[in-house]
Amino acid sequence: MKFNFWYVSSLSISLIVAIPILTVFTSFFQDTSNYFEILKQTFFFEYIFNSLTLLIGVLFLTFVLGAGSAYVVSFYQFPGANFFKWALILSFAVPPYIYAYSLFAFFENYGTAFTILKYLFGDGEYNKHIPKFSGMFGLILSISFSLYAYVYILARSSFLYQSQNLIELGKNLGFSKFKSFYSIILPAARPAIVAGLSLVAMETLAEFGAVDFFSVNTLTTGIYNAWITFDDLAFANRISFFLLLFIFILFLTENLSRKKARYHLEAKGGFKKKEKIKLCGAKSLFAFIFCFSLFFLSFLFPLSQMLYWTIKFPENLVGIQITDLLLNTLYLVSISSLVLLFFALISNYGNRVSNKKTLNALSTLSISGYAIPGVILAIAFITFVAWFDENLIKALGFLSIKKIFIGSVLGLVIVYFVRFYSLAFNGIKSGYEKMNISVDESAYLLGYSKTKTFLNIHIPYLRNSLLFVIILISLEIIRELPITLILRPFNFETFATTAYISASEDLLEAAAVPSLCLIIIASFFILLTSKYILRDNDE
Amino acid sequence: MKKISILSLILSLILSTFAIANEVNIFNARHYKADAELYDKFTAATGIKVNLINGKSGALEKRMIEEGADSAADLYITADAGRCGAFQAKGMTQSGLTSSTIKSSVPKNFRTSHWVGVAKRARIIYYSPERVTGAELSGMSYEGLADPKWKGRLVIRKSSNIYNKSLVASLIANNGKKATAEWAKGVVANMARPSEGNDRAQIMAVAAGEADIAVANTYYLALMLSGNKGAEQQEAAKKVKAFFPNQDGRGTHMNISCAALVKGAPNKANAIALVDYLLSPSAQEHFTNNTFEFPMIAGVSPSPLVVNNLGLDFKQDLKTKVSTYGKNQAAALEVMTAAGWK
Amino acid sequence: MNNNFLEIKNVSFKAGGKTKVKNVSFSIENKGDIICLLGPSGVGKTTILRTIAGLEKIKSGSIKLKDKILSSAKDHIEPENRNISLSFQENSLFPHYTVEKNIHLGAEAKKLNGKKKVSPKKIIKLLNIEKILSKYPHQISAGEAQRVALARSLVTQPDLLLLDEPLSNVDQSFKEEIQVQLKKLLHDLKITTIIVTHDSYEAFYLGSKCGVILNDQLKQYDDPYNVYHFPNSVEVVNFLNRGILIPAKVTGENSLENEDLGTIKGNFIKHYPKGSDVKLLLQPEDLEHDDKSNLKLEVVDRKFRGTNFIYTLKTTTNHLIPVLVHSHHIHQHQVDEKFGIKRPIYIDHIVCF
């Protein structure tokens, strides 16, 4: 058998991704339990109960908000509809933990809500009447308002591609608008919505910053606590088994739904540009109020809370090295996207030219990293490097390699790679899928070599996909918290870590400046992508 | 070409981690701007560069443990003796954090040869003078928090919080685990709401009338009174008074911010120099005026906000060694969890 | 030493690990010849083109172009070095370039050193794609895309042009015109071409030779006239579907006997001993209509084809015989009516199996 470059490179990528995942399992099978049974029982059920409550709450809210807004925006014409179309995805710029800071700060005793009431109505006992959003309820709200856009984007694109026939069918059968919505439109978009909800669910289970801030114990923080605080790997093992079970189900659901969603998209028989229904009067006002409230609550509210703090406590602007933070963030973003794109391109190209089933299976394995929470990936990475160093490098008499990987940008980039490889891989894959393999073959037949085909045909064709992937990766890394927190080098902060560190020391107002910067930069990146996310006159 | 540039990039990343300099590496779990300012002053005075990695104590400890002997960590700075004690118990610290400055300025109760307190705080009771009478408070102790007369009137943060763990650990050291388990049940029964929020939120709950008494650290009230948290909280803080418990007995529960000398520290001498510097009168004054903690050394006064509103004249518990906090931590969490303390 | 332009010898064509067509040999004698490969879909015609183009490898036999080995068990010249052009059935245009750029890219990629350049303009005009030059592939129809792909292939002046169902998406009304133009163009440019199609009329018109591929074999490779009139197997007859086989008994050197039609005379193309039972190929033009004849069969169907009618007649043994009648023939026979067949029946060449 000849040396197959594509096979070897795909194998190595999968291996890099598999290492931390395998470490999670293997290290958990060392039994070092020294913890108390009673605690375990209590915590264990609390973790599962909390994770389930959180999941159900978030899924319900994101479904209502995401599918509802997508429906209104794609089927109806009302004042501001075109603005809300893209404004609603700005909520991506506010990570759940920053939303949590805003929510808590606004409603706490003597918080922003109190200040507003006092300003409007003078002194009074307002604290008792201001609802408190902390703990589980606050957490559900924070995550939902930050993540509903996943459902919104996928549902919207599915609604847009629904053939006119389907909607006319509803009219034909004499259905009311509501009945058409839930018995025709919604079921047709189900795969897309399920895919969006599974993404939300995975992100919810992986969420660290907001969960930590509201100190709600979920399975993920449970593993973190059991592993980090109590060194109880056996307990961590038990929790992670459940977590991975959850995740495995979600991963499968998401993949299957995506395939179905694609199938639905391809069946574009009878597709013609839909005429949006023009709303007027009270209905139009209702649609506007719904979308505006969503936009306000998900984006304007956290933005203004952070802005308010920045103005109220300007002393926090002193001493914060915004340029350094920006450069650090951009440094991470550029190296990571470069590495991710490079490997995702190689792997996709390899799959394309060799078209082997084993390669396809390997790439499915290598995109599984995104389902594993960042906290767990980061710790697993450290554990693996330490083990590898101890048992192989030192045993062979070499210098320790720990410093190269732990607390270095290299280590960070590797773990980002594991976590975000699926973004890069799938982004490029979906670009490639739109181009028949015969396009490559015609290029060969026109005299282009494989390299020339790649450089002169593929790269220009994939340009938009590549750009889109870079921006997606950037957005994720800008918001990323636990991996950066655990693995970053000395004197190296990003907006996310600065905000988190301040918040964890009860200095929420100091967290405002980095949070504000993060929201602004992320919004900028989102506006760059909105064109690709929301294209609707394609094909 | 792309490959080569990536290769050189990776190479430069690797090389940069091997740079050697006159420095001290701190794993820092205290994130006050004031601390960072002190480190800058230290660098200006000695030429020793301070490298910081900020994070939550758990993650920092885990990273040091995994990095093992190869860790660049010199000092681990964190709030709470319980953490330093537990970290020492894991064999992650080394002895030798002794210097003439340390010996002469830090009371024995607040240091071991592995770690040293650099600032003090007390965990005390806050009350609403409108709703709590002097008679009710008279002779009040931590043990008294379980008294049924406080039913529905008490707020305190979660059991997972290190300050609570250390407080309960000290109770276990003094009263035994069994008695403390009963006590924890009483405390939970008295809670006005399930535990949530940080120490400052507990004080504000008393100010807002959600509860009558709260347990929180000393510096939080001063922080609110300073106006650094805004005018509303400054006003709120004025509605709450501080009470130092156990004055008739062993004294008020004390805790420290501590610096631990990490095992295998590559810059041990610099680490000790930095601790010495943190214990200098000017650094201590900087602490007291910015973080509103109590100074560790004699001859430096706490912030006027602390002196005027909390008072200085209280009996500190110097009998319970802070080094026991770490030892009893697991037991503390166990009794709290068993009592249903969230 | 032979001087065939393209020679394929004992090649088994494989795609995706499966053998599609076994042990094929055929050749194109002269530069500029056009041949057609005919067969039902899925039979492996496309695989043959892909293999000749170098997109698939072979394990046995050889493919030679101008006496140079392109593919064999040992050798494989990469597609980009073959100067063979393949126009795919599906859209293979570069999606991110305009039609014009697509066409020009072909010419740019191949250095047409020393070759007489064909003017792309001429080809563009000929294929009637002037109006869509500035459009992108996703904005044009499938038929247009096929013509653009054809243009892209033509401007490169390949040694060998392979066309996979080139007109499958072209409107029927436009198809014949394009066929004429295409044939003329290929002839003018002297481009040797293999065209794959499932449409036998197209193959008969365009190809100087036709290959019929059935059941993983190249059944017949011959002039279109011969393929039609002298099919070499029952399978080819069935595939062309323009005649039927009826049972008959050989009664002499140049006669046979059928139960319904009686004596049929003509020239056997193959000798059968007297008394053998054979299946006789009857094509629509073999029988003639004659109202006065006493040989009458029942009409079960009538197809109007513009220039003619094709009647389907049922024999007593339930065989359905096609008979072609000029369309000016005034009185028409309805279904269920009787239809007279002129006797004696004489068939110029008798094909039996």
Entry field: residues in chain A: 539
Higher pLDDT, A521 or C89: A521
CB of C51 less than 8 A from some CB of A: no
Q: Do C19 and C60 lie in a common domain?
A: yes
Residue A19 token pair: 């290492």
Q: Which residues of chain B have pLDDT under 70?
A: 1-20
Among left, alpha and beta (phi > 0; psi -120 to 50; other), residue B44 is: alpha
pLDDT of residue A494: 92
**ipTM exceeding 0.90, yes/no:** no
Chain A nearest C-alpha distance from B248 (Å)? 33
The single residue listed with the structure tokens 């400052």 is B200
CB of B152 less than 8 A from some CB of A: no
CB of A172 less than 8 A from some CB of B: no
**Distances from the Cα of B267 to the Cα of A311, A499, B50, B85, angstroms:** 41, 30, 11, 22
Q: Do C200 and C304 lie in a common domain?
A: no
**A494/A511 Cα distance (integer angstroms):** 12
Q: Cβ separation of B68 and A229 shorter than 8 Å?
A: no
Q: Do C165 and C122 lie in a common domain?
A: yes
**A477/A334 Cα distance (integer angstroms):** 10
**Chain C nearest-CA residue for A432:** C95
Q: Cβ separation of C82 and A442 shorter than 8 Å?
A: no
Q: Do C13 and C27 lie in a common domain?
A: yes
CB of A229 less than 8 A from some CB of B: yes
Q: Cis bond leading into C344, ω under 30°?
A: yes
pLDDT in tens, B45-81: 999 999 988 888 888 888 888 888 778 899 999 988 8
In degrees, to the nearest 5, what angle opens at C-alpha C219 toward C-alphas C216 and C225? 145
The helix/strand/coil state of C192 is: strand
pLDDT of residue A534: 63
Helices (H), A207-270: 209-213, 219-224, 233-266
Domain topology for B121-253+318-338: D-Maltodextrin-Binding Protein; domain 2 (3.40.190)
Q: Kindly report the CATH number that applies to the domain delimited by B2-120+256-302.
A: 3.40.190.10
pLDDT of residue A270: 40
The helix/strand/coil state of B154 is: strand
**A200/B250 Cα distance (integer angstroms):** 53
**B202/C50 Cα distance (integer angstroms):** 77
User: What residues are paired with C324 via a beta bridge?
Assistant: C310
**Chain C nearest-CA residue for A457:** C94
Q: Do C228 and C283 lie in a common domain?
A: no
Which residue, among C67, C61, C54, has the nearest Cα to C5 in the 3D structure?
Answer: C67
Q: Is residue C277 part of a domain?
A: yes
Looking from the CA of B47 toward its CB, the CA atoms found within 13 Å total: 2
- Other C-beta atoms lying within 10 Å of the C-beta of residue B113: 14
Chain B nearest C-alpha distance from A279 (Å)? 45
Instruction: Identify all chain C residues contacting A455, using CB atoms and an 8 Å cutoff.
Output: none
Closest CB to C110 among A442, A446, A539: A446
Domains B2-120+256-302 and B121-253+318-338 share a fold: yes
**A466/C47 Cα distance (integer angstroms):** 33
pLDDT of residue A63: 94
**Chain A nearest-CA residue for B50:** A491
Ordered by start, the domain boundaries in chain B are: 2-120+256-302, 121-253+318-338
Q: Do C202 and C262 lie in a common domain?
A: no
**B171/B331 Cα distance (integer angstroms):** 11
DSSP letters of A162-179?
S-HHHHHHHHHTT--HHH
| Residue C253 belongs to domain with CATH number | 2.40.50.140
The helix/strand/coil state of A446 is: coil
Q: Do C74 and C10 lie in a common domain?
A: yes
Q: Are B260 and B276 in contact (CB under 8 A)?
A: no
Hey, which residues 152-181 in chain C have their CB within 8 Å of chain A? Answer: 152-153, 156
Which residue, among B257, B284, B290, has the nearest Cα to B105 in the 3D structure?
Answer: B284
Q: Cβ separation of A407 and B201 shorter than 8 Å?
A: no
Residue C269 token pair: 């193309």
* pLDDT tens digits in sequence order for chain A, 539 residues long: 345 677 777 778 878 877 777 776 665 555 555 555 656 677 778 888 998 999 999 999 999 999 999 988 888 888 888 899 889 989 989 999 999 999 988 888 888 888 888 888 887 778 778 888 778 999 999 999 999 998 998 888 888 776 666 667 777 777 777 777 777 788 778 888 888 888 888 889 888 889 888 888 888 877 777 766 666 666 666 677 777 777 778 777 777 776 666 555 444 334 445 667 788 888 889 999 999 999 999 999 999 999 998 998 888 887 778 899 999 999 999 999 999 999 889 888 888 887 677 777 777 777 777 777 888 888 788 878 888 888 887 777 777 777 788 888 999 999 999 889 888 888 888 888 878 888 888 888 888 888 888 888 888 888 888 888 888 889 889 989 889 988 888 888 899 999 988 888 778 888 899 999 999 999 998 888 777 666 554 43
Q: Taking each helix axis from N to C terminus, what angle separates A233-266 and A190-206, rounded to the nearest 10 degrees?
A: 160
Q: Do C33 and C163 lie in a common domain?
A: yes
Instruction: Identify all chain A residues contacting B14, using CB atoms and an 8 Å cutoff.
Output: 404, 408, 410
pLDDT of residue B18: 47
H or E element, residue A347: helix A322-354
Closest CB to A446 among C90, C109, C138: C109
Residue A437 token pair: 């393999």
The single residue listed with the structure tokens 């062979």 is A396
**A507/C255 Cα distance (integer angstroms):** 110
Chain A nearest C-alpha distance from B4 (Å)? 12
Question: Domain count of chain C?
Answer: 2
**A130/A108 Cα distance (integer angstroms):** 8
Q: Is residue C1 part of a domain?
A: no
Amino acid identity for residue B19 in this structure: A
**Distances from the Cα of C234 to the Cα of B107, C88, C201, C237, C256, angstroms:** 110, 31, 19, 5, 19
Q: Is residue C59 part of a domain?
A: yes
In sign, the C-alpha dihedral spanning C317, C318, C321, C325 is: positive
Residues 6+ apart with CB under 8 A from A169: A184
Environment class of residue B104 by beta-carbon count within 10 Å: exposed (0-12), middle (13-18) or buried (19+)? Answer: exposed
In degrees, to the nearest 5, what angle opens at C-alpha A440 toward C-alphas A434 and A443? 130
Q: Do C130 and C217 lie in a common domain?
A: yes
Which CATH superfamily includes the segment(s) A1-30+316-493?
Answer: MetI-like (1.10.3720.10)
CB-based touch C/B (3+ pairs, under 8 A):
no
Environment class of residue C241 by beta-carbon count within 10 Å: exposed (0-12), middle (13-18) or buried (19+)? Answer: exposed
pLDDT of residue C342: 86
CB of A441 less than 8 A from some CB of C: yes
CB of B181 less than 8 A from some CB of A: no
Ordered by start, the domain boundaries in chain A are: 1-30+316-493
Q: Do C108 and C189 lie in a common domain?
A: yes
The single residue listed with the structure tokens 């919810």 is A204
CB of A444 less than 8 A from some CB of C: yes
Q: Cβ separation of A441 and C88 shorter than 8 Å?
A: yes
Looking from the CA of A110 toward its CB, the CA atoms found within 13 Å total: 24
pLDDT in tens, C38-52: 988 888 888 999 899
C196 pLDDT more than 70: yes
Q: Do C259 and C229 lie in a common domain?
A: no
Q: Do C59 and C169 lie in a common domain?
A: yes
**Residues of the domain holding C314:** 242-350
| Residue C74 belongs to domain with CATH number | 3.40.50.300
- Mean per-residue pLDDT, C119-141: 84
A–C interface: beta-carbon pairs under 8 A: 70
**The whole model's pTM is what?**
0.81
**A277/A99 Cα distance (integer angstroms):** 34
CB-based touch A/B (3+ pairs, under 8 A):
yes
In degrees, to the nearest 5, what angle opens at C-alpha A204 toward C-alphas A201 and A206? 110
**A430/C272 Cα distance (integer angstroms):** 64
Higher pLDDT, B3 or C124: C124
The helix/strand/coil state of B120 is: strand
Checking A130-134 for CB contacts under 8 A at 24+ apart, the result is: A131/A107, A132/A107, A132/A108, A133/A103, A133/A104, A133/A107, A134/A104, A134/A107, A134/A108, A134/A214, A134/B196, A134/B197
Q: Is residue C42 part of a domain?
A: yes
Closest CB to A444 among C80, C91, C149: C80
CB of A445 less than 8 A from some CB of C: yes
Q: Is residue C196 part of a domain?
A: yes
For A299, list phi and psi in degrees, rounded to 5: -125, -55
Mutate to test the interface with C, among A434, A445, A459, A467 (most CBs of C within 10 A): A445
pLDDT of residue A539: 33
